[in-house]
């Protein structure tokens, strides 16, 4: 009985015929040839979702910033560095997808004028002028034939309010929120806990290994996706 | 003959009795709880030097920023995040060392006011105010009983002029310079090529695996160190 249950859970190809595009990892915004701005995303959550979606039978395109983990066997890996690279690749692959998962921690701002040579530290202070990057998930959600849209919100305070605001503002179907200020979950941790919000409900995925959280999340996303097709 | 040569080269404990303090990797300067400024240093060169120095019989303290490689067996690893952390640890361990190798790519500037919560992208532009960090290698070189001082210069142009300027300005015994703009060497590469400058001479270490470059560099540093003791 347990064997057959776990067989169903791990091996049922319930995403067969779907194409998931998943963004993962951080982006790096160059300051000069040696310095950059980035963030603490390890890519683990996005890679775990890619892995779980492949096991469930989906075709997966993984658009990833620079990380130190290996891509799951069977995915199409598109490696990028900056947010603008990721934006370009996301708009290229999203139109052919059924589901778009924006799990990457994309830099909101890039450096206005990237120095072509290493900046010398001649001054006691330095000013970096930053300009806003394109909003990848919002732009994908504006596509005429937009896929089922799942965003992420990594927050340090007022989690639900920010997450629900983002869900509506960016025209998403679902948003998965986590509290990156809590130790032992979120950025660079092997574990995570998520709250998944739709316009009308919310579901908790309790603290667990990111592989387990990803399996539950993939299944939940698919349930919402199927409900929308009716 | 070859066996005995390679035995001498790899196993002769010619650094026995010496204590090397080596800084390695990048530093990360927080912008807020999720974003930071860093650089492309992988830590590979500093870790290879630590490995070579341990094999040559030195006691090694490795003060390292966040990297994705394992510390060599037998070293004392001091993990740090920011340049100010590294400065503090360097000044703690340097006074008891014979040789100080400043291989880390230390951030020259830190963010003036680190935000305690994730900064929201409400504005189209953003200004980051940066202030200069302490100069680790220069401060160690000002210690009353300063160790033998080896600096690094990772440059993208005018390599020799910058390197010789740094050697004099920071009161170093040696400086190892590399051109990080050349592909296939330097940051995040497995290979490197160095020019080692003293006040009176220069020695080239040609492009090779960083382990090989490190073995040659450690031997050359020791020759200069011994010459200074006479």
Whole-number mean pLDDT of chain A? Answer: 91
Cβ B31–A40 below 8 Å, yes or no?
no
Asked if A129 is an interface residue toward chain B (Cβ–Cβ < 8 A), one would say yes
DSSP string, B83-119: HHHHHHHHHHHGGG-SEEEE-SB--SEEESS--SSPP
Of A36, A68, A181, nearest to B33 by CB-CB distance is A181
Contacts of A108 in chain B (CB under 8 A): 121
* A145 has catalytic annotation: no
Question: Which ranges of chain B have pLDDT less than 50?
Answer: 1-8
Task: Tell me which DSSP letter residue B59 carries.
Answer: E
| Side-by-side strand order, sheet with B191-197 | B76-79, B59-64, B19-24, B99-102, B148-155, B174-179, B191-197, B202-209
Cβ A125–B130 below 8 Å, yes or no?
yes
Residue B116: count of CB within 10 angstroms of its CB = 10
Tally A–B CB contacts below 8 A: 99
- Chain A contacts in chain B segment 2-41 (CB below 8 A): 31, 33-40
Contacts of A155 in chain B (CB under 8 A): 118
Kindly tell me if the per-residue pLDDT of A171 is higher than 90: yes
Kindly tell me if the per-residue pLDDT of A3 is higher than 80: no
- Give the tens place of pLDDT for each residue, A132-165: 999 999 999 999 989 999 999 988 888 999 999 9
- Give the tens place of pLDDT for each residue, A99-127: 999 999 999 999 999 988 888 877 888 89
- Give the tens place of pLDDT for each residue, A4-16: 444 445 558 999 9
Nearest CA in chain B to A69: B68
Per-residue confidence (pLDDT) for residue B8, from 0 to 100: 45
Cβ A40–B34 below 8 Å, yes or no?
yes
Q: Is A38 helix (H, G, I), strand (E, B) or coil?
A: strand
Per-residue confidence (pLDDT) for residue A53, from 0 to 100: 98
Kindly tell me the number of DSSP H helices and DSSP E strands found in chain A: 6, 12
CA distance B29 to chain A (A): 9
Contacts of A126 in chain B (CB under 8 A): 109, 130-132
User: Using an 8 Å Cβ cutoff, are B24 and B40 in contact?
Assistant: no
Chain length of chain B: 230
- Give the tens place of pLDDT for each residue, B22-51: 999 999 999 998 899 999 999 999 999 999
**Helix, strand, coil percent content, chain B, rounded in steps of 5:** 30, 30, 40
Range A187-205 average pLDDT: 92
Kindly tell me if the per-residue pLDDT of A225 is higher than 80: yes
């Amino acid at each position: 009985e347990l064997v057959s249950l776990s067989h169903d859970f791990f091996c049922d190809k319930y995403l067969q015929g779907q194409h998931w595009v998943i963004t993962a990892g951080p982006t790096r915004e160059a300051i000069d040839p040696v310095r950059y701005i980035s963030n603490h995303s390890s890519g683990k959550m996005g890679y775990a979702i890619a892995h779980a979606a492949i096991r469930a039978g989906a075709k997966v395109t993984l658009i990833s910033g620079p990380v130190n983990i290996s891509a799951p066997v069977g995915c199409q890996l598109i490696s990028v560095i900056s947010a603008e690279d990721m934006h370009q690749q996301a708009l290229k692959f999203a139109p052919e997808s059924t589901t778009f998962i924006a799990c990457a921690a994309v830099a909101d701002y890039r450096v206005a004028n990237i120095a072509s040579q290493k900046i010398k530290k001649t001054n006691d202070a330095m000013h970096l002028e930053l300009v806003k990057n394109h909003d990848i998930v919002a732009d994908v959600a504006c596509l005429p034939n937009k896929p089922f849209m799942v965003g992420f919100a990594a927050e340090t305070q007022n989690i639900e309010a920010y997450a629900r605001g983002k869900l509506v503002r960016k025209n998403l179907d679902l948003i998965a929120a986590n509290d990156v200020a809590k130790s032992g979950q979120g950025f660079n941790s092997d574990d995570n806990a998520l709250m998944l919000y739709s316009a009308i409900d919310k579901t908790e995925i309790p603290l667990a290994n990111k592989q387990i959280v990803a399996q539950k999340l993939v299944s939940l996303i698919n349930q919402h996706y199927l409900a929308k097709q009716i």
